């Protein structure tokens, strides 16, 4: 409960987007490095590929989640 109160207080005083900007930037940079480790692609192509890699990553997570939910549902009598 203390953590919840602290989080709500923090976000009431500051812009949530600014608080999480470093984390979002780092997460998106991961996909940039994945598609262009040497940094040789033009910026537009790197951005396009990075966006597709991000979509593929989250689609894989959704598939895993669906499989787990399906298995849980089947295991419940």
* pTM for the model: 0.74
| pLDDT, the chain, mean | 95
- In the block, residue with structure tokens 């602290």: 6
Nearest to 32 by CA among 45, 17, 16: 45
pLDDT digits (tens, 9 = 90+) for 19-56: 999 999 999 999 999 999 999 999 999 999 999 999 99
Q: What is the dihedral of CA 32, 37, 26, 69, to 10 degrees?
A: 70
Euclidean distance between CA atoms 18 and 25, whole angstroms: 11
């Amino acid at each position: 409960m203390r953590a919840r109160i602290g989080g709500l207080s923090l976000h009431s005083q500051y812009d949530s987007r600014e608080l999480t900007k470093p984390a979002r930037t780092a997460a998106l940079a991961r996909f940039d490095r994945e598609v262009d480790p040497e940094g040789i692609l033009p910026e537009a192509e790197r951005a396009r590929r990075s966006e597709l890699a991000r979509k593929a990553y989250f689609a894989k997570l959704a598939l895993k989640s669906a499989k787990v939910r399906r298995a849980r549902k089947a295991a419940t009598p």
